[in-house]
Structure 1
Amino acid sequence: MSVSELLPESVPNEIDRSVQTVGLTTDETVFETLSTDTARQIVSLLDDGPQTASAIATEMQISVQNVCYHLDRLQTAGLIDAVGTRHSSKGKEMTVYGLITESIVLQLGEQNTAQ
């Protein structure tokens, strides 16, 4: 029995994801973050379900440091968040990341709140 089987895991089965509206000129962080292939591939992987940075790195065959850089940017942009924890086979606690946005809606003009 591995150490990870003995330690508790805190990962939700489903995450309540919302629709995010971003303005073309007001939300540059989202567009800048998603401008790289790596960030878009990470979002695609997380669309299948929450994962750790090391699992993403293994799947994409890139370094964990590179994945962590993009995860940090995606988190700052409000597209992902830490949704739980998992333990490695060596017992190290790892953060599990998941998408918090179901889809992104691009708003071209000023938002009109009066309807």
Structure 2
Amino acid sequence: MAGLLPSPRSIEQPPQERTEVVVDGSGSGTVFTVLASETAHTILGALREEPRPVSAIAETVETSLQNTRYHVERLCEAGFVEPVDTRYSAKGREMTVYGLRVDRLVIRFEDGSQSAESTAD
């Protein structure tokens, strides 16, 4: 049956060049909470290599499917990762393929009329 399913193809998903997060006390804490996780860092590194379904991400980062799904959902909510394609498993189940949404993150700190900028690659 596996021969009847379409084979995985290379996905060209160039991330956006930059995402800017303004730290002014209004909701930016979510971004920092998501980025505080070592698992999230590892997932971002895996997706930097190529877009993958959750099962392949879990295998690559050596953690459970449930843990991976949790972190991928949080990364999607924060705007770092997005669905880029759909593939089918050997059993014929649909799998969402996730890729990076950003190539670079710029964090800008604002306090009233003053602002300072910090860039993280």
TM-score (norm 1): 0.84
Aligned to 1:109: 110
Shift of 1:80: 0.6
Distance across 1 between alignment mates of 2:40 and 2:15: 21
**Alpha carbons of structure 1 residues 49 and 20: separation in structure 2 relative to 1, 3 Å:** same
- RMSD over aligned CA atoms reads 2.3
Q: Which residue of 1 aligns with 2:99?
A: 98
Tell which has more relative contact order, 1 or 2 (C-alpha 8 A, sep 6+). Answer: 1
- 1:65 is paired with a residue of what secondary structure? helix
Structure 2: how far apart are the matches of 1:76 and 1:67? 14
Q: Deviations over 1:6-63 (max 9, x none)?
A: 2376874133423011122342211110101001110111111101100011112211
Count how many residue pairs are aligned between Structure 1 and Structure 2: 111
1:30–1:77 contact (8 Å) kept in structure 2 = yes
Once the two structures are overlaid, the 10-residue window that deviates more, 56-65 or 66-75, is 56-65
Match of 1:2 in 2: 2
> Alignment partner of 2:103: what SS?
strand
Counterpart of 2:79 in 1: which secondary structure? coil
Matched, 1:18 2:17: yes
CA contact (8 A) 1:11 1:85 kept: no
8 Å contact 2:15–2:100 — kept in the other structure? Answer: no
The 5 A counterparts of 1:24-63 are 24-25=23-24, 26=26, 27-63=28-64
Query: What is residue 66 of structure 2 aligned with on the other side?
Result: 65
Q: Point out where structure 1 has 5 or more consecutive residues left out of the alignment.
A: none
Compute the displacement of 1:72 (Å): 0.5
Gaps in structure 2 of 5+ consecutive residues: 114-121
Kept in 2: contact 1:87–1:93 (CA 8 A): yes
Please tell me whether the aligned partners of residues 23 and 107 of structure 2 are also in contact (alpha carbons under 8 angstroms).
yes
> In percent, how many aligned pairs have the same letter?
35
